[in-house]
Structure 1
Amino acid sequence: MREALNVLLNNVKKEMSACPWENPYAYADFLAQTYYYVCHSTRLLGLAAGLCRVDRDLLHRRFVQHIGEEKLHERLALNDLRGLGLKLEDFPERSITKAFYEAQYYKIERLDPTALFGYILLLEGVAVSLCPEIYQRIARAHGKQCANFLRVHVEEDVDHLPKAFAQIEGLSASQKNDIMINMAQTADLYGKIIAQAAQSPSVDARARAA
């Protein structure tokens, strides 16, 4: 599974490296979409924790612990957006963003709570493997005061990925297969979120008007 994650991260890296992070509107769109889906992080974890059977107490407690680790992270993205001097309402939630997190509710409720690990692994992998370079680009272009969401995930949340892998080790082959499918789906949709932020007509129009 680690090898599969690395392949998916390399695919996502192409979109992330090509994104014009130095353009404040492209970065702001990313922050807005991040805010919209991160608002659901603790809710998804809470749903997964609540649907864990009693004999999966370690998994239940890990989901609960992770809720505390993700608490209020959406506000970091919102504050970074405001630090750019821009407003959330100027960057509506995209359909791809809705699809990104809405699918997780279905997987948790209809497949198995452990399917959420596909979403977790991909996002935590992005934070650990890809975001350090992006953080440096954003900090240089816009200042560290506008990059706190990425800073926290790059510097403080590095243990989330090994914790997720530790929980997966004892799962069944069927559960691991659901995780793999979700991981690939999450990578595809996340790459599209980045691509849309980079290629939005609003980005070009605002850049010309600036």
Structure 2
Amino acid sequence: MSFFERLIGETRTEREAFIAIPVIQRALRHGVPIEMYLAFLGQAYHHVRHTCRLLASAAARCTDADARYITALLEYIGEERGHEEWILDDIDALGGDADAVRNSQPELPCRLLVAYVYYAIEHVSPYAMLGMVHVLEGMSAAMATAATASLQAALVPADRQGSGRGFSYLSSHGSLDQEHVGFFRDLVDGLGDAAAEQAIIDTACIVYRLYGDIFRGIDAGFAGVSHAA
């Protein structure tokens, strides 16, 4: 069994719990109200804007023996730079207030997610970053295409659905992260370091829960509001 296969197996419970979150199921099947989608984009902005900083933090804590990992992290930084601006553009395209989001503070679940990954990189292992990558990239690749289709059908008039405006961040991650997942698999299968592997598994399990709490929090914030998009 490869490490990637072990990672999939040992995070199955957390992954299934994440996918089963009611608001995620509704988004995949029927879409959600535009206010809820904008709330998601607002929280996505706040964790995505830390991605390059987290990758850099992990690279800075590696040793010369981690040259292959450092190279991968630097490549990742180049690919992830500026994605938070995609999110602000989507918010603006859907009539949201991008400047307000830029100047706002994230909700507590988002703060805890970002803070935990910083902590894990600094105090557990720089390889903990790959636990977060596994969850966010894996979930994007698995769900973004379906979610984009459902959300566009629910929120965008039929004659405007081909434009993709308002969904550039989400839709791009459907195809882009398929490539990232393959890159990730090759990277982790070549580690051969038991401590690094365990740090990845542990962080992935925790990130599934913390990332899920972002969606649970958004759903709770709209309690009592009709779920019909």
CA distance in 1, matches of 2:64, 2:125: 14
Residues 22-69 of structure 1, C-alpha deviation per residue, up to 9 Å, x if partnerless? 301110000000000000001101111122111211110000000011
Cα pair 1:27 1:197 within 8 Å, conserved: no
Name the counterpart of 1:12. Answer: 18
1:6: Cα distance to partner? 4.5
Name the counterpart of 1:164. Answer: 184
Please say if 1:198 is aligned against 2:219: yes
Alignment of 1:22-41 (within 5 A): 22-41=32-51
Name the counterpart of 1:55. Answer: 65
1:162: Cα distance to partner? 2.0
1:145: Cα distance to partner? 0.9
Cα pair 1:76 1:148 within 8 Å, conserved: yes
1:203: Cα distance to partner? 8.2
Bigger shift: 181-190 or 136-145?
136-145
Alignment of 1:1-210 (within 5 A): 1-15=7-21, 16-19=24-27, 21-88=31-98, 89=100, 92-143=105-156, 144-169=164-189, 170-201=191-222, 204=225
Cα pair 2:56 2:77 within 8 Å, conserved: yes
Bigger shift: 174-183 or 136-145?
136-145
CA distance in 1, matches of 2:151, 2:143: 13
CA distance in 1, matches of 2:88, 2:39: 11
CA distance in 2, matches of 1:202, 1:83: 26
Cα pair 1:128 1:158 within 8 Å, conserved: yes
1:2: Cα distance to partner? 2.0
Change (3 A) 1:5 1:139: farther
1:11: Cα distance to partner? 1.9
CA RMSD of aligned residues (A): 2.1
Code of the aligned partner of 2:219: A
- Could you say what secondary structure the match of 2:165 adopts? helix
The TM-score normalised by the length of structure 1 is: 0.90
Structure 2 spans left out of the alignment, 5+ residues? 1-6, 157-163
Cα pair 2:144 2:170 within 8 Å, conserved: yes
CA distance in 2, matches of 1:60, 1:173: 18
CA distance in 1, matches of 2:82, 2:107: 21
1:9: Cα distance to partner? 2.8
- Could you say what secondary structure the match of 1:146 adopts? coil
Bigger shift: 80-89 or 106-115?
80-89
% of aligned pairs identical?
21
Structure 1 spans left out of the alignment, 5+ residues? none
Cα pair 2:31 2:153 within 8 Å, conserved: no
1:156: Cα distance to partner? 2.2
1:5: Cα distance to partner? 4.0
1:146: Cα distance to partner? 1.0
